[in-house]
Amino acid sequence: MITLENVTKIFESPSGAITAVDHVSFEVPEGEICILLGPSGCGKTTTMKMVNRLIEKTGGKIFVDGKDIDDYDPVTLRRTMGYVIQQIGLFPNMTVEENIMVVPRLVGTPDAKARKRAAELLGMVALDPGIFLKRFPRELSGGQQQRVGVARALAADPPVLIMDEPFGAIDPINRETIQDEFLKMQANLKKTIMFVSHDIDEAVKMGDRIAIFREGRLEQYDRPDTVLAHPTNSFVREFVGGDRTLKRLRLVRVGDAMHPGAPYVFPEDRIGDAVARMHEYGHRSIVVLNREDMTPTGLIRLAEVEEARGSCGEHAMRLPGRVHVDADLRRAVSEMFTQDTTWLACVDSDGRFKGHITQRAITHLLGETYRHPNEGVVPDTRRQRGEAVLEPETGPIPGAPA
């Protein structure tokens, strides 16, 4: 846990005093990622560097796990925190392996153990240890260097990480990948992380909480969904962007907005059974599943088969679209637009049918917070932790394809 109380930093410069951080108070709970977000020069880096005392604060208090950081010797304090600097800062005279081993060596970890750890960590940031361990930083691309920087910060397994734009130099595609990898890692490691970014999308994706800064002042400190749904002032509203509600789509997993336990039939079933089941559930359509592997293969619409005879297989139409239960709602909405439908079948990794999702269910879910203000849709623990995010709506949703 990192606690800031009224933290202030005033730089004395020849052209006068600059208040870089102005009475900032907030708390990063144990095991969470807090994103410091804001335009260039708003004091993100300064705030972060006061935590590991690279910059001494002018006023206020900072506590790490309840202990005042001023009571520590700075060197000891820093060794308990992984640090990723904005400029990457790999040591060019050392190999990738030696770079990662710096802190373990400082704290006296046996070499063999540190070496093993270096290889492990490199794998974790998706670089092949066989290829990269013995390379020098100048032999890596910017993005690869940044990954090594992250691995280096994790080397001594510190409980606290402070990272200054750790993925800034990575191209968008690889950035998504490494963000996902990092979140997966964090799900196991549960570090307390302070993470600087100036990218709202990254903040929404990575953050358990977002701290938005402007000119040294903390404008809003909330969960991502709250920041997006209820910006506290016009600055935050503008900063998060006019499409802020669309951004919220990323925060919810399909599985959490899906209507589970939807009825289905098999191709061999008689069409009468399908009609009966649709009436029973009050649905206007029903999914046809392959009996062997439970994958959805088609759809039957009530309006077209009410008087029909024969098997379900004969009357099945093309399935309008499907989406993975672990995908986010943005993916689902995109798929709906692509397929020109308001309904999608939800499947798991084996392609098995899990339920369906409708546009109305999504709108309803996103609108919830406006009907009950002061509550974000996404509860405390994030989807990356593998926990259920919210109670899905109960009861049938009669929103099948028109």
Partner 1 sequence: MGMAVPRSVWMWVLVVGAFALGAWAQSAGLIADILWRWEDIVFLARQHMQLVAISGGLAILVGVPLGILLSRPAMRRMAETLMQGLNVGTTIPTLAVLALSMTFLGIGTVPAIFALWIASLLPIVRNTYIGILEVPAALREAAQGMGMTNLQMLWRVELPNALWVIFAGIRTALAINVGTVPLAFLIGGGGLGELIFTGIALAETGMMLAGAIPTAILAVLTDFLVATVARFTVPRGVNPLAR
The nearest distance, CB 194 to Mg ion, in angstroms, is 12
Helix H or strand E segment including 289: strand 285-289
Binds 175: which of Mg ion, partner 1, ligand ATP, none (CB < 5-8 Å by kind)? none
Using CB under 6 A, which of 2, 20, 34, 316 touches ligand ATP?
A: 20
Of residues 40-79, which lie at the interface with Mg ion (CB under 5 A)?
45
Q: CB nearer to partner 1: give 154 or 365.
A: 154
Q: Burial-class residue 113 by CB neighbours within 10 Å (0-12, 13-18, 19+).
A: exposed
95 contacts Mg ion (rule: CB under 5 A) = no
The nearest distance, CB 179 to ligand ATP, in angstroms, is 18
Provide the mask over 38-57, with x wherever binding to ligand ATP is found by CB under 6 A and - wherever it is not: x-xxxxxxx-----------
Helix H or strand E segment including 127: none
Q: How many CA atoms lie within 13 A of 31 on its CB side?
A: 9
The nearest distance, CB 12 to ligand ATP, in angstroms, is 8
Question: How far apart are alpha carbons 172 and 193 in whole angstroms?
Answer: 22
Of residues 117-136, which lie at the interface with partner 1 (CB under 8 A)?
136
163 contacts ligand ATP (rule: CB under 6 A) = no
Q: CA angle, corner 116, sides to 111 and 118, nearest 5?
A: 90
- The residue written with tokens 């990254």 in the block is 202
Question: How far apart are alpha carbons 286 and 298 in whole angstroms?
Answer: 9
Q: CB nearer to partner 1: give 104 or 399.
A: 104
Binds 46: which of partner 1, ligand ATP, Mg ion, none (CB < 5-8 Å by kind)? ligand ATP
13 contacts ligand ATP (rule: CB under 6 A) = yes
Q: CB nearer to ligand ATP: give 236 or 333.
A: 236
Q: CB nearer to ligand ATP: give 53 or 301.
A: 53
Q: Which span sits near partner 1 by CB under 8 A: 32-40, 93-101, 363-371, 378-386?
A: 93-101
- The residue written with tokens 């990457």 in the block is 88
- The DSSP bridge partners found for residue 63 are 3, 68
Q: How many CA atoms lie within 13 A of 398 on its CB side?
A: 8
168 contacts ligand ATP (rule: CB under 6 A) = no
The nearest distance, CB 108 to ligand ATP, in angstroms, is 33
CB 73 within 8 A of CB 153: no
CB 207 within 8 A of CB 187: no
> What is the 3 state secondary structure string of 226-244?
HHHHCCCCHHHHHHHCCCH
Binding site for ligand ATP (CB under 6 A): 11, 13, 18, 20, 38, 40-46, 86, 198
